[in-house]
A and B are shown apart, each in its own frame.
Chain A
Amino acid sequence: MTKVYVSSVIPAPAAEVWKLVRNFNGLPAWAPFVAESRIEQNAQADQIGCIRSFTLKDGGRIRERLLALSDYDLSCSYAILESPMAVENYVATLSLTPITDGNLTLAEWQAEFDCAPDREAALMHQIGTGVFQIALTALKNRFGR
């Protein structure tokens, strides 16, 4: 099992950041690499078990199932069903934690997955730096002061 963990401080209150990221269908609004997204079978975006199908700006297509969403813990977990990345058993969690000192937010994004050993380093970099950190940096800039 391979793990990736990335975290950033977002310069905005957690409730405000959560409003944006809790939308399972909302990636195009803030993740720079996502072109468009829809929820399959006309489900609601906060219905546990719903599937988002989105296309990347590079043309790739990914389907992910919502496993957990908590407005109490400010966290969201999902699994990859289909993707161009050769990963299996991929489960990721995006969570927010308030930083009371300054009213900021700690955003954490972590994933666990299985993959071919020779692909591990490249995938960790691709997911950690190329996906999670780019998205968190976009969040930071969006709320930047």
Chain B
Amino acid sequence: MVQVRQSTIIDAPIDEVWEILRDFNGHDRWHPAISFSEIEGGEPVDAVGSVRHFRLNDGGELREQLLALSDKDRRLSYCLLEAPLPLMGYVASVRLKPVTDGNATFWEWRSEFNPPAHRRDELVKLVAEGIYQAGFAAVRNLLRGRSAGSPIDVRPSRAVAAPAPSASVPRVAPTVTPGQAATTRAIVVERYGGPEELQLREIGLPKPAPNEVQIRHTVIGVNFIDVYCRTGYFDLLQPPGVPGMEAAGVIEAVGSAVSGFSVGGRVAYACPPVGAYCERRNMVPDLLVHLPDDISDDIAAAGLLKGIAASFLLHEVHVVRPGEVVLIHAAAGGVGQLLVQWARHLGATVIATVSSDDKARIVERLGADHVIVYSRENFAEAVMRLTGGAGADVAYDAVGNDTFGGSLAALGVRGHLVSFGQASGPVGNWDIGRLSSKSVTISRPNYAHYTDTPQKLAPQLNRFFAALRQGTIKVEPPRHYDLAAASEAHRDLESRRTTGALVLKV
């Protein structure tokens, strides 16, 4: 039997630290080693005896059971039920004590287990450093970020706008010589309207400001949100402006106050402000992602926004549980394909709707349990038939006008309609009183509210990259268009002829 004991002082009030640690399922939001966690069987997270099932970034899966939880002593204990490592008989406990002299918190994390003799030192080190010390640092960072209200250095690594030039980042000469007006090719929307409003122009490109980096795009993602920006449905773009919120590329210049990024680094992003439809742009790197070597530019540009969206739709907007019936519209589309694969992996029964037989075959290959061609069959009736009248637990609907009413009809009692788009037009006005006939919940999530800080973004990225690596989801190679042919890409996207992702090549 070995004992591991690590302890530290966290410079935050004990209640704040305990709020984070007492959530037995919350460790995927702060621990850098963990990509995803869920409580089995829908048990309450603070029920003693509940089991958390979680996945590490390296793909390992573990199950741990809550043995004791005390809000009085601010202590919790748990044991390992299953693990990819021989941590035999592992029982651990976490406890906090207040440091009254300064309002800080003492945090102790200890465990006992029986390792095989030849792996003893390795496992002790892993637990002490890879789990406990790494956890201390992550929670410290999380709290520091909260109190500062500013981006923090959480995984995956990202930039922090430093107040002064950092000695560790060499100041690099940008590609643009000062004084000389540089330009870049870009797609400009002069006024809201149809795809024809996407015009190729040469626009000015200033040097990056001290808190910005300059990125040379390699691949640019095309998303339905770009259509909404082009038409003025969302006011994220003010004409004249450059649309686009997703791209992959290479850093070409780094502002003097930026740290964590260097020239030549591979990056990607899926966030406002708009402006991705161009060869080069400057942006504040708060939400910029360092691309791992095993993620190609194509996959990043094709999958980052959709993958992040799928991550929070399935894990936060609605927490999909094993055995739930999940209805997914536009299942052959970019987000749809990810939702189908991921929901299946989470143990749900997936009913997918598509507009054609060709798309139905694609979605069947992705593992959907049932596929409905909604141009031919009333999908609400089909869902009721397939579920023996019980209806769906959750409906993911980005089609909008054409499907909203049917989605409500397809839900079971206490079902959840997640309306996250309106490809066929706005859903219009609905009388919420009618929802009480089934106690329906409706969510209208906004991408930014789940991703606009590094703290919110990190778990989505971790889940998405982990799911890609484990093959839980597969992003199909995207369809390529030239930057100049952006209007063609929008036409194809809006015609619903496409399957999978569309990207612009620079």
Residues of A within 8 A of B (CB): 5-9, 97-102, 104, 106, 108, 133, 136-137
Contact = CB atoms under 8 A, between A and B. Distances in A.
Nearest to A98: B7
B136 A137 contact: no
B183 interface: no
Given A97-B106, A97-B108, A99-B106, A136 B101 contact: yes
Contact of A7 (B5, B7, B98): B98
Nearest to A106: B106
B106 A6 contact: no
Contacts of B5: 98, 100
A7 B6 contact: no
B133 interface: yes
| Closest 10 pairs (CB-CB, A-B) | A101-B8, A8-B101, A106-B106, A99-B7, A100-B6, A7-B99, A7-B100, A100-B7, A6-B100, A9-B9
Contact of B8 (A6, A100, A136, A137): A100
A136 to B, nearest CB: 7
Contacts of B97: 7, 97, 106, 108
A104 B9 contact: yes
A131 B337 CA distance: 67
**Most-contacted residue by chain A among B5, B9, B136 (CB, 10 A):** B9
Contact of B9 (A6, A99, A108, A136): A99
Nearest to A133: B101
B104 interface: yes
Interface string B82-117: 000000000000000111111010101000000000
B59 to A, nearest CB: 29
B143 to A, nearest CB: 15
A106 B9 CA distance: 9
B53 to A, nearest CB: 29
Contacts of B102: 8-9
B9 A7 contact: no
B136 A101 contact: yes
9 contacts: A7-B106, A8-B102, A9-B104, A9-B106, A97-B106, A98-B7, A99-B7, A106-B9, A133-B101
A5 B136 CA distance: 25
**Most-contacted residue by chain A among B5, B101, B104 (CB, 10 A):** B101
A127 to B, nearest CB: 13
Nearest to A128: B100
Interface in B131-175: 133, 136
A88 to B, nearest CB: 24
Contacts of A99: 7-9, 106
A15 B308 CA distance: 49
**Most-contacted residue by chain B among A102, A104, A106, A133 (CB, 10 A):** A106
Nearest to B6: A100
B219 to A, nearest CB: 43
Nearest to B104: A9
Contact of A9 (B6, B101, B133, B136): B101
B99 to A, nearest CB: 5
A6 B108 CA distance: 18
Interface in B1-20: 5-9
A92 B226 CA distance: 67
B9 A8 contact: no
A54 to B, nearest CB: 24
Nearest to B101: A8
Contacts of B6: 100-101
Nearest to B10: A101
A130 to B, nearest CB: 14
Contacts of A9: 9, 99, 101-102, 104, 106
A97 B7 contact: yes
B133 A101 contact: yes
Contacts of B100: 5-8, 133
A124 B104 CA distance: 21
Interface string B1-44: 00001111100000000000000000000000000000000000
A5 B106 CA distance: 14
A73 to B, nearest CB: 13
Contacts of B9: 9, 99, 101-102, 104, 106
Contacts of A6: 100-101
A44 B97 CA distance: 32
A102 B101 CA distance: 18
Given A9-B99, A99-B7, 12 more contacts: A5-B100, A6-B100, A7-B100, A7-B106, A97-B97, A99-B106, A101-B9, A101-B133, A102-B8, A106-B9, A106-B99, A108-B97
A136 B101 CA distance: 9
